[in-house]
Chains A and B, each alone.
Chain A
Amino acid sequence: MIDFKLPSLGADMDEGTLLSWHVQPGDRVKRGQVVAVVDTSKAAVDVEIWNDGVVAELKVAPGEKVPVGTVLATLREVGEMTESGPARQTQPSPVITRHPVSPLARKRARELGIDPDAVSGTGAQGSVTLADVEAAAQVRPAVTGKPAEPAAVDRQKEMRRAIAAAMSRSKREIPHYYLSETIPMALALAWLQERNKDLPITERILPAALLIKAVALALQRTPQLNGFFRDGAFQPSSTVHAGVAISLRGGGLVAPAIHAVETLPLMEVMSTLGDLVRRARAGSLRSSEMSDPTITITNLGDQGAEAVFGVIYPPQVALVGFGSMALRPWVNSGKLHALPLLTATLAADHRVSDGHQGALFLVELRDLLQKPQTLAQACTTPEEPCRNPP
């Protein structure tokens, strides 16, 4: 028998409320399948299962709030006998596709006492919007007469509390050091413009994807910045799961991961990023994306401030920040130029690395961004890295 426990969905989450099950006892499940939806203080998360097997018993009922590590369900391994004979194999579990529900719609649904997953959605990809929830409430009057305000306030309060706990822990435990480097972006932007020129909109790449890919490649030289600090020791990660900070509408942020960025072609980094932003907004992130980023990247974008000095998300050991890109003065060969410049910063854990290594990382990052075609080089398997380490 295998215990399926509520996984940690990040340092700022120590409990979750089970919203719904996608499986029943007797269903066969596959590794990676979404089996439940759990509400955290930040978003509803699709929880994936990490074993193949047959669901034996559901231990937690929808609506229950439980701490991380609680056994949610038990699984029998395929072929394991039960009192009533071998596990049901003829009927694979139906793949239930849950339409994404926007956080606002989910909140409103709770206020109105209706099940948002039962509402038919009219938004993008069938997503359930605020209007759908309101419409459903018109048809079926609310079953609970709870006042609307407290739920909204609670959600905001809970998210603030969760962020406060994680960030206080970070500042208490992690001796941060900070470095910054100005990066000329003219070559990278010119290359992107040329590349995107004749492509349909769905195949165009934004500078943000190039930056994420560049960070993953630069980390190959400084593995001290990529991994976890746990139980008093650094555990480097052999691959880069880049947590991308995405601010949520209405406040707060999440940093779900793009997995194994160093092995992904640039276009895939781009499409995964687009998908993550869409799903973060719609409130349908997956547990694996929430739990395992090995480094965080925050990009203030073109409407943001000039530089960002981040707070490391424990148990990670570094955070890379990008400020807004803008035309600024730059001196080259004794001449003054107006160039698009970007300030890249590094906040890193002094228990694991020193400023010298951090500086090497930023210099490598700057140099990589002067050779954008290197970043674009296709690379599909971990065995075939994009670039040989020097």
Chain B
Amino acid sequence: MKPERQALMREIVTLLQAIAPELESDTLEPQRPLRQQLDLDSMDWLNFLVSLHQRFKVEIPESDYAQLVSLNDVGDYVSARLV
């Protein structure tokens, strides 16, 4: 993994920890659906997406929600939109 990608993933995990404080980054499986893994309800998930939007200044239209499932998906989505 490139260092920039690694840093980005670390930041995303930190945002997730604000919502799921018990989350340990090394137990997170990057391919598995995040909501299922972390037991996040729709409000948790929205709060997470809002924190992504605020931290990385990316717009996430509602029609894109379906693309954001696993940690890797979120990483890909954000890095593709970073300027």
Contact = CB atoms under 8 A, between A and B. Distances in A.
B21 A104 contact: yes
Contact of B21 (A201, A202, A273, A281): A281
B17 to A, nearest CB: 6
B10 to A, nearest CB: 12
Contact of A201 (B15, B18, B50): B50
B60 A201 contact: yes
Nearest to A244: B43
Interface in B3-36: 14-15, 17-22, 35-36
Given A200-B59, A201-B50, A105 B21 contact: yes
Contacts of A105: 21
A301 B35 CA distance: 12
B43 A206 contact: yes
Contact of A303 (B22, B41, B49, B51): B41
Interface stretch (A121-129, A153-161, A254-262): A121-129
B42 interface: yes
A103 B21 contact: yes
B53 interface: yes
A201 B22 contact: no
Nearest to B18: A124
A130 B24 CA distance: 10
B55 to A, nearest CB: 10
A204 B65 CA distance: 13
A278 interface: yes
A201 B49 contact: yes
Interface string A247-275: 10110000000000000000000000110
A166 interface: no
Contacts of B53: 200-202
B44 A277 contact: yes
Contact of A204 (B14, B15, B51, B62): B62
A249 B22 contact: yes
A102 B21 contact: yes
A197 interface: yes
Contacts of A250: 22
Contacts of A301: 41-42
A43 to B, nearest CB: 13
Contacts of B18: 123-124, 127, 129
Main secondary structure of the interface of A (DSSP, over half): helix
A193 B63 CA distance: 9
Contacts of B47: 274, 277-278
B18 to A, nearest CB: 4
For the side of the interface on A, what is the size category?
20 to 34
A329 B64 CA distance: 27
A109 B15 CA distance: 21
Nearest to A130: B21
Contacts of B14: 123
B47 to A, nearest CB: 6
Interface string A147-178: 00000000000000000000000000000000
Contacts of B43: 206, 208, 273-274, 277
A207 to B, nearest CB: 8
* Residue picked from B17, B35, B39, B49, most chain A C-beta under 10 Å: B17
Interface in B51-73: 51, 53, 59-63
Nearest to A103: B21
Nearest to A302: B42
Nearest to A304: B41
A379 to B, nearest CB: 23
A196 interface: yes
Given A102-B21, A197-B61, A273-B43, 19 more contacts: A123-B14, A124-B15, A124-B18, A130-B22, A131-B17, A193-B62, A196-B62, A200-B59, A201-B59, A202-B53, A204-B62, A208-B43, A249-B21, A249-B22, A274-B47, A274-B50, A277-B44, A278-B19, A303-B39
5 contacts: A102-B21, A105-B21, A201-B49, A273-B43, A274-B50
5 interchain residue pairs of minimum CB distance: A124-B18, A102-B21, A277-B43, A301-B41, A104-B21
